[in-house]
Chain A
Amino acid sequence: MKRIINILIIFPLFVFAGLDISKVNSVLSSIKSLKDSSIPLKFYNTKKSLHLNKKLNFTSQNYADIILFPIKKKINKAFVVDSYKALKKYKNSIGAIYMKKGRTQIVFVAERLKNSGFDLREMKKKYLIPECKLEAICFLKN
C-alpha cells in the first residue's frame, strides 16, 4: 500500500520530466481570447513542480480562464490535460501537454478551443488538430 502511495505521489513528478518548458510557455502564451485578443489570459497551474514562465498571467482557480492539469475534471472552465488519453476522454478539455517517447507533445483541439472562446495565434496553428482526429471513424469518413 505504502508503495502504491509512493508511486502515486512520485509518478506525477515524472510525467513532465524532460518537458520542453520554453515550448510549453511559447504555446500557452499564444492562446488568445476570441472576444478580445489584447486581454491576456489568466491561468491556474495545479502542477507547481512545473515551473512555467511567470510572464504568463497566473491566478487562482476561480479567476483563471484556463486551468492547467486539473485533478478534478468536472469543472466549468477550459482546461488542459496531461495525456492524450485524457484529451480524448474529457470532451471539455481544450488541449493536452505531455511527454511521449521522450518528446514534448502539445496538442489543442481546434473546435474545443473555439467553443471555449479561444484560439491559437497564427504561428502556433500547427499545434491544432481537428476534433475528428480523435476518432478513427471520423478519419475514415473524410
Chain B
Amino acid sequence: MYNKFIFFRNNKIYYYIIGGYLLLIIWGGYFYKNIGNYEDRLKNLLLSQTISSVENASNNILNRMLKKYSDFVYENYKDASVRSENEYKISDLLNDDIDSVYILYLENKKLFYLLDASREDRGELGERFEPIEENIFIEAQTNRESKTFIQPTIDKLGFTLIKPIVQHDKTIGFLVLDYKESSLATLSSLLNVSVKSLLYAILFSLFILLVLISYMLHTQYIKYVMYCNPLTNTLNRVYLTDNYDKINFKDYYVALVDVDFFKRINNLYGQKNGDKVLISIIRRITLLLREEDIFIQYGGEEFLLLIPKKNMEEPIFKNLLEKIRRLIESTNFRVKNYRFSVTISIGALLQTELEKSLQDAIHKADTALYKSKHNGRNSISYFDLSQPERIYREQLKEMIESDKLVCYYQPIKRLKDSTLHHYEALLRIEDGDKIIFPDKILPALEDSYLYTFLTKKIIEYNIKILRIDSRMRISINLSADDLINDSILFLLLQNSDLSARLYVEILETKSIDYIRVENSIQRLKLLGFKICIDDFGSGYSNLTHLLNLSIDYLKIDGSIIKEILHDKRAYSIVKTFALFSKENNIEVIAEFIDNKEVIEVLRSFGVEYGQGFYFSQAKPYAELEHHKE
C-alpha cells in the first residue's frame, strides 16, 4: 500500500519503544533463566555480609592458636588443659545466631572432632564427623578458602561456615560454625525482599513499557482516525497540516488533481454515489503510485500528490501524471444503470526546490491547476515561473477560516420616494488594509468544495447581523448549485424565523437545473423567504422558467441599466421586462443607477426599486446610516 504505514514511518519513537520492549523481554528471559544463579550469588553475598564479623574474629583466634602450637592437632590431643583453653577461646565465637563452634582435624581424608565449644550436643575428641556436604569440605581444603552454605537438609540449622585451618602449608582441619535456623530466616526474608523487589521492578518496567506502547498505539490509532478518510483509506488534509514541517518538500514533485465537474455527479446521482465514484477514482490513481509516494485527499474531490524526485526524472513524472489523467479519462464509471466518464485536471510544480515552504509549492501547483481548469479541463498544466501572482485558493481558504470574510451592504431603495427597502450583502475579504473583491475570490473557488464553504460562511455572517439588528433586511446571493445543496438549504430552513428579512438572490448567469431549483425555491417560499433573480438579462434568461419559479423580485442586470439613456435596445428591454413583471406580479429592481435621469426613466416604466452609486456605494455594517442612528 502506498502510504498506509506513514504514521509509523514518521515516528521513530515507535521503533525505539518496540526495540526497548524486545530488549527488556530478552533481558527478562535471561534473568528468568538465570534467576537461580542470581539467587545463589545474592545468597552468598548476603551470607558473606552476615559472617564477615565472625570471620574476622575467627581469623584472629585461629592465628593466635596456630602461632602458639607448632603441631596444633597433636598438642590439643595430648593435653586436656590445652583443649579446654582452646575450646574456651573458640567459644567466644558463639552468639545468638551460632550454637555450635568446633574444630575438626583431617586424618586419611576423614574428619574427626578435635575441639568442640558448642552449647549442646558436643563431639568428643577423636569422634568421627561424617559431613553431609563432603564436597564443600574438599573444595575448602583444596582452595584453602572459607565456605559458607545453607543447610537445606538439616532441621534447626540455618547455614554453616567452614574455615580451613592451614599449618605448615597444609590443611590440617576446619573450624566449623553452625548458624541457627533463625539466622537463615532473616537472611531468607532479606533475599526474598531483594528478589521480589527486582522482580517487581522488572514487572513494573514491563507494565510501564506496555502502557507506553499502548499509549503510542492508541495515539497512532487516533492519528490514523484523524488523518485517514475512512471511505477512501487515504490521508486527509489534517495529516498535511500536522506534518508540514516534517515533509522535506524539496525532495518531492507536487501535483494537485481535481475531478472535473464533480459537483454535478453529486447533484445528479446523490452524494452516496458521488462518494463511490470518488473511491473508484482514488483506487485507480493509487494503483499507479509507488509505496514512497504520498497521496492526500486535499479537498472533497481534490487530491495532492507528493512524488519523491529520487529515481524519478521530470519526464517520468510528467508521464506518470499523463498516465493518471488517461486512466481516469478512459474509465467507464457506473452508478446504478448509468455509465459515464469522468475527467480530471492536474496542476503540478516541478521546481519545488525554489519554494520556501510546502504551502508555497502547493499554491503554485494550485495556480497550475487553475490554468488547466480554464484551458478546458481534462488537462495537465505545470507551473510556469514567469506566471503572475494571484490569490491562491488556499490563501482564500485561510482568510475565510480566520474570519477575514465580511459583507458590505448596498441599500436597495424605493424609487418613488428613495426610502430604504433592504440591503444587498456583497462579499469582501479584508486582508489587513487590502480589500479583496468577489471578482478575485469567486473564480478561484469556482467548482471547488470551497465554494459551498464560502456560501455557508456568508449566510452565517448575515444571520448573525439579522439576529442582532431587527431593522436589517438583507438579500444574499446564492448560485443555483447552492440552492440544491442540502447543507445550505438546511442552514436556511433552520433560520426560517428570519425569512421575512432575508431575501435570496439567485444568480442568473449560470445555467440552472430548473426542476431541482424549483423544488428548493418552493420550500423556501413556503417558509416565507422572498426570492429574487439576480442579473436578469445577462445570461440564459428563460421567461417560461421564470414564471414557473414564481419569484418575487427580478433584478435587471446592471450592464443593461447603464445603457438605458443611450441605447434604444436597452431602453426597450427594460421597459418590456418591467411590463412583463407587472403583468406577473413580480417587482423589479434596477442596479447600477448612477444618476437621477435613470431614476426618472425607470419610474416611468413602473420599476419599483433601485440600487447604485447614486444612492450609496456598499459599506460595512458599522458604517450604515441606519446603524449610526
Residue positions of A touching B, CB distance < 8 A: 17-18, 20, 84-85, 88, 100-107, 126-127, 129, 133-136, 139-140
B130 near A84 with CB under 8 A, answer no
Q: Are A136 and B100 in contact (CB under 8 A)?
A: no
Given contacts A136-B77, A139-B77, A140-B77, are A103 and B128 in contact (CB under 8 A)? no
In the complex, the answer to whether B123 meets A102 with C-beta atoms within 8 Å is: no
26 contacting pairs across A/B (C-beta < 8 A)? A17-B155, A18-B154, A84-B123, A84-B124, A84-B127, A88-B124, A100-B123, A100-B127, A100-B129, A101-B100, A101-B121, A101-B178, A102-B151, A104-B130, A105-B128, A105-B129, A126-B110, A127-B130, A129-B110, A133-B112, A134-B126, A135-B126, A136-B125, A139-B77, A139-B126, A140-B77
**Contact code string B102-142 (vs A, CB < 8 Å = 1, else 0):** 10000000101000001001011111111110000000000
* A20, A127, A135, A139 pick with most chain B CB within 10 angstroms: A139
Contacts of B127 in A (CB 8 A): 84, 100
Can you name 15 extra interface pairs (CB under 8 A) apart from A84-B128, A100-B121? A84-B127, A100-B127, A101-B118, A101-B121, A101-B123, A101-B157, A101-B178, A107-B128, A107-B130, A126-B110, A129-B110, A136-B77, A136-B126, A139-B77, A140-B77
Judge whether A102 and B157 touch: CB under 8 Å: yes
Q: Are A102 and B156 in contact (CB under 8 A)?
A: yes
- Closest chain-A Cβ to B616's Cβ sits at a distance in Å of 116
Report B125 CB to chain A, min CB distance, Å: 6
Chain A's closest residue to B125 (CB) is A136
**From A107, which residue of chain B is reached at the shortest CB distance?**
B128
Residue in A closest to B100 when the chains form the complex, CB atoms = A101
Bound form: Cα–Cα A105–B100 in Å: 17
Distance in Å from the Cβ of A99 to the closest Cβ of chain B? Answer: 8
Chain B residues lying within 8 Å of A18, measured Cβ to Cβ, are: 154-155
B611 to chain A, nearest CB (A): 117
Q: Does B78 contact A (CB under 8 A)?
A: yes
The 7 closest A-B pairs by CB, nearest first: A102-B154, A107-B128, A102-B157, A84-B127, A105-B130, A133-B126, A18-B155
CB proximity of A15 to chain B, nearest CB, Å: 11
A-B contact count (CB 8 A): 57
Residues of chain A lying within 8 A (CB to CB) of residue B100: 101
Residues on A with beta carbons closer than 8 Å to the beta carbon of B132: 20, 103-104
* In the complex, chain A residues whose CB is within 8 Å of the CB of B124: 84-85, 88
User: How many B residues have CB within 8 A of the partner chain?
Assistant: 25
Distance to closest chain B CB from A124 (angstroms): 12
Residues in B with CB closer than 8 Å to A133 are 112, 126, 128
| A-contact 0/1 string along B138-160, CB 8 Å cutoff | 00000000000001001111000
What's the least CB distance linking A135 to chain B, in Å? Answer: 8
Give complex CA distance A79, B504 in Å.
Answer: 128
Task: Give the docked Cα–Cα distance between A136 and B82 (Å).
Answer: 14
Q: Which of B349-384 contact A (CB under 8 A)?
A: none
Q: Which residue of B lies closest to A105 (CB)?
A: B130
Q: How far is the CB of A82 from chain B (nearest CB, A)?
A: 14
Residues of B within 8 Å of A140, CB to CB, are: 74, 77-78
Q: Report the bound CA distance from A134 to B128 in whole Å.
A: 10
Separation of A93 and B204 alpha carbons in the complex (Å) = 65
Q: Which residues of B contact A135 (CB under 8 A)?
A: 126
Kindly name the residue among A17, A20, A84 whose own CB sees the greatest number of chain B CB atoms within 10 A.
A84
Q: Which of chain A's residues has its CB closest to B99's CB?
A: A101
1/0 contact string of B254-279 vs chain A (CB within 8 Å): 00000000000000000000000000
Residue of chain B at shortest CB distance from A87: B127
Contacts of B128 in A (CB 8 A): 84, 105, 107, 129, 133
- A98 CB, nearest partner CB in chain B, Å: 10
CB distance from A105 to the nearest CB of B (A): 5
Rounded to whole Å, the gap between the CB of B516 and the closest CB of chain A is: 102
> How many Å lie between the Cα of A31 and that of B102 in the bound state?
31
Closest residue to A108 on the B side, CB-wise? B128
- Shortest C-beta distance, A60 to chain B (Å), equals 31
* B residues less than 8 Å from A20 (CB atoms): 132
Q: Chain B residues near A136 (CB, 8 Å)?
A: 77, 125-126
Nearest opposing residue in chain A for B128, CB measure: A107
- Residue of B at shortest CB range from A84? B127
